[in-house]
Amino acid sequence: MKTSRSIRIGLLALILLAGGVYAGKAMAYQHSKTFFKNTVIAGVNVGGQTAQAATQSVNRAIANRQYTIQENGQSLARFSARKAGLKLDVTTTNQLLANQNAWAWPAHLTAKAAGNDNQLTLDNHVTNRITRQIVQTTNQSPNRTAAVNATLVYHKGHYQIRPAKNGTRLDETAVQNSIQRAVANGQTTINVDHDYVRPAVTSNSKTLKQLKQKAEKITNATYTYKIEQHRVTIPQQTVASWLTTSGKKLTVNQAAVQTYLTSLNNKYATNTKTRTFKSTTHGTVTVKAGLYGWHIPIISEAQALTPILLKGQSTVRKPLITGSGYHADGTDIGNSYVEVSLASQHMWVYKDGKQVVSTDVVTGLPKNDHSTPTGVWVVWSKQSPSILKGKNDNGSNYSSKVQYWMPVDDTGVGIHDSSWQPKYGGDWYLTHGSHGCVNTPPSVMGKVYQNVAVGTPVIIF
In the prediction, which pLDDT does 447 show?
98
Question: Active site includes 370?
Answer: no
CATH number reported for the structural domain that contains residue 245 in this entry? 3.10.20.800
Q: Is residue 170 part of a domain?
A: no
- Whole-angstrom distance, CA of residue 264 vs CA of residue 225: 10
Same domain, 45 and 97: yes
- Whole-angstrom distance, CA of residue 19 vs CA of residue 13: 10
Average pLDDT, rounded, for the chain: 87
Q: Is residue 286 part of a domain?
A: no
Q: Is residue 72 part of a domain?
A: no
Same domain, 38 and 117: yes
For the ranges 99-103, 244-248, 371-375, 428-432, the lowest mean pLDDT is seen at: 99-103
Cα 354 to chain centroid distance, Å, stands at 54
Decide which of 28 and 322 is more confident: 322
Same domain, 390 and 454: yes
pLDDT band at 220 (very low <50, low <70, confident <90, very high): very high
Question: Active site includes 416?
Answer: yes
Decide which of 112 and 455 is more confident: 455
Give the mean model confidence (pLDDT) for residues 10-17.
43
Q: For 143-200, write each residue's pLDDT tens digit.
A: 999 999 999 999 888 999 999 999 999 999 999 889 888 887 889 999 999 999 999 9
Same domain, 342 and 456: yes
Decide which of 120 and 210 is more confident: 210
> Is the predicted pLDDT of residue 244 greater than 50, yes or no?
yes
In the prediction, which pLDDT does 28 show?
53
Same domain, 383 and 454: yes
Q: Choose one of 88, 107, 139: the last residue of a domain.
A: 139
Q: For 256-272, write each residue's pLDDT tens digit.
A: 999 999 999 999 999 99
Same domain, 130 and 224: no
> Is the predicted pLDDT of residue 230 greater than 80, yes or no?
yes
Same domain, 391 and 420: yes
In the prediction, which pLDDT does 64 show?
86
> Is the predicted pLDDT of residue 21 greater than 90, yes or no?
no
Q: Is residue 149 part of a domain?
A: no
Q: Is residue 44 part of a domain?
A: yes
295, 346, 416, 435: the active-site residue: 416
Give the mean model confidence (pLDDT) for residues 32-54.
87
CATH number reported for the structural domain that contains residue 363 in this entry? 2.40.440.10
Decide which of 109 and 367 is more confident: 367
Same domain, 362 and 409: yes
Q: For 120-151, write each residue's pLDDT tens digit.
A: 445 455 567 778 888 999 999 999 999 999 99
Give the mean model confidence (pLDDT) for residues 201-215.
93
User: 366: cis peptide before it, omega within 30°?
Assistant: no
CA dist list (Å): 351 to 157, 377, 448, 451: 52, 16, 10, 7
Same domain, 4 and 34: no
The 3 state secondary structure assigned to the chain is CHHHHHHHHHHHHHHHHHHHHHHHHHHHHHHHCCCCCCCEECCEECCCCCHHHHHHHHHHHHCCCEEEEEECCEEEEEEEHHHHCCCCCHHHHHHHHHCCCHHHHHHHCCHHHHHHHCCCCCCCCCHHHHHHHHHHHHHCCCCCCCCECCEEEEECCEEEEECCECCCCECHHHHHHHHHHHHHCCCCEEECCCCECCCCCCCCCHHHHHHHHHHHHHHHCCEEEEECCEEEECCHHHHHHHEEECCCCEEECHHHHHHHHHHHHHHHCCCCCCEEEECCCCCEEEECECCCCEECCHHHHHHHHHHHHHHCCCEEECCCCEECCCCCCCCCCCCCEEEEECCCCEEEEEECCEEEEEEECECECCHHHCCCCCEEEECCCCECCEEEEEECCCCCEEEEEECCEEECCCCCCEEEECCCCCCCCCCCHHHHCECCCEEECHHHHHHHHHHCCCCCEEEEC
Give the mean model confidence (pLDDT) for residues 217-222.
96
Q: Is residue 182 part of a domain?
A: no
In the prediction, which pLDDT does 117 show?
40
Same domain, 46 and 84: yes
> Is the predicted pLDDT of residue 14 greater than 70, yes or no?
no
Q: For 349-392, write each residue's pLDDT tens digit.
A: 999 999 999 999 999 999 888 999 999 999 999 999 999 988 88
Q: Choose one of 118, 139, 160: the last residue of a domain.
A: 139
- Whole-angstrom distance, CA of residue 122 vs CA of residue 132: 18
Same domain, 413 and 346: yes
In the prediction, which pLDDT does 71 show?
94
Give the mean model confidence (pLDDT) for residues 450-460.
97
Q: Is residue 90 part of a domain?
A: yes
Give the mean model confidence (pLDDT) for residues 437-458.
97
Q: Is residue 216 part of a domain?
A: yes
Residue span of the structural domain in which 5 resides: 1-27
In the prediction, which pLDDT does 441 show?
98
Same domain, 350 and 387: yes
Please report, rounded to a whole number, the percentage of residues in the chain having pLDDT higher than 90.
66
In the prediction, which pLDDT does 31 show?
63
Give the mean model confidence (pLDDT) for residues 333-362.
97
Cα 57 to chain centroid distance, Å, stands at 55
Q: For the chain, how many residues are written? A: 461
108, 346, 435, 437: the active-site residue: 437
In the prediction, which pLDDT does 80 show?
86
> Is the predicted pLDDT of residue 403 greater than 80, yes or no?
yes
Domain count for the chain? 4
Decide which of 109 and 444 is more confident: 444
CB neighbour burial string for 215-224, b if at least 16 within 10 angstroms, e if fewer: bbebbebebe
Decide which of 207 and 89 is more confident: 207
> Is the predicted pLDDT of residue 19 greater than 80, yes or no?
no
